[in-house]
A and B are shown apart, each in its own frame.
Chain A
Amino acid sequence: MDSILNHITNWYGSLSPTSLFCLWALIKIAVVIGVVQGMVSYTVLAERKISAWIQDRTGPNRTAPPFVKDIPVIGPFLIRLGIFQPLADGLKFMFKEDFTPAGVRKIYFFLAPAVAVIPSMLTVAVIPFGSMLGAQKMVIADLNVGILYTFGIVSMGVYGIVLAGYAANSKFPFLGGIRSSAQMISYEISMGLSVIPVLLIVGNLNLGGIINWQADHGWLVIYAPVAFIIFLVASFAETNRTPFDLPEAETELVGGYHTEYGSMKFALFFLAEYSNLVASSGMMVTLFFGGWTLPFWGLDHPAQSLGMGVAHILVFLAKMLFFVVLFIWVRWMFPRFRYDQLMDLGWRRFLPLALVNILVTAIILWMMA
Chain B
Amino acid sequence: MIVNRKPLTFWERLYLPAIVGGFKVTLKHAYATLIQGKKVTMEYPEQKWAVPADYRGAPYLVKDQEGNTKCVSCQLCEFVCPPKAIRITPPGPTGKPADRTNAEKMPAEFEINMLRCIYCGFCQEVCPEEAIFLQKDYSLVGSNRAEMIYNKEKLLALGGTHGGIQKWKLKLEEAREQESFPVKL
Contacts and interface: CB of A to CB of B under 8 A. Distances in A.
Contacts of B26: 54, 329, 332-333
Interface in A109-159: none
B39 A58 contact: yes
Query: Contact residue range for chain A?
Result: 10 to 19
B23 A333 contact: yes
A53 B29 CA distance: 7
A55 to B, nearest CB: 7
Contacts of B18: 334
Contacts of A332: 26
A50 B30 CA distance: 8
B30 A57 contact: no
B95 interface: no
Query: Contact residue range for chain B?
Result: 10 to 19
B43 to A, nearest CB: 7
B23 A57 contact: no
Nearest to B40: A56
B172 interface: no
Contacts of A55: 29
Contacts of A53: 29-30, 33-34
Interface string B91-102: 000000000000
Q: Is the interface of B mostly helix, strand, loop or mixed?
A: helix
Contacts of B23: 329, 333
A332 B41 CA distance: 18
B22 A57 contact: no
A330 B15 CA distance: 13
Interface string A308-352: 000000000000000000000110111000000000000000000
Contacts of B33: 52-54, 56-58
Contacts, number: 38
Interface string A57-96: 1100100000000000000000000000000000000000
A161 B29 CA distance: 34
Given A333-B22, A333-B23, A58 B30 contact: no
Contact of B30 (A54, A61, A330, A334): A54
Contacts of B19: 334
Nearest to A55: B29
Contacts of B38: 56
Interface in B17-74: 18-19, 22-23, 25-26, 29-30, 32-34, 38-41, 43
A141 to B, nearest CB: 36
Given A329-B26, A333-B23, A57 B41 contact: yes
Contacts of B29: 53-56
20 contacts: A52-B33, A53-B29, A54-B26, A54-B29, A54-B33, A56-B29, A56-B33, A56-B39, A56-B40, A57-B33, A57-B40, A57-B41, A58-B33, A58-B43, A329-B23, A330-B22, A332-B26, A333-B23, A334-B18, A334-B19
Given A56-B39, A332-B26, 18 more contacts: A50-B30, A52-B33, A53-B29, A53-B30, A53-B33, A54-B26, A55-B29, A56-B29, A56-B33, A56-B38, A57-B39, A58-B43, A329-B23, A329-B26, A330-B22, A333-B25, A334-B18, A334-B19
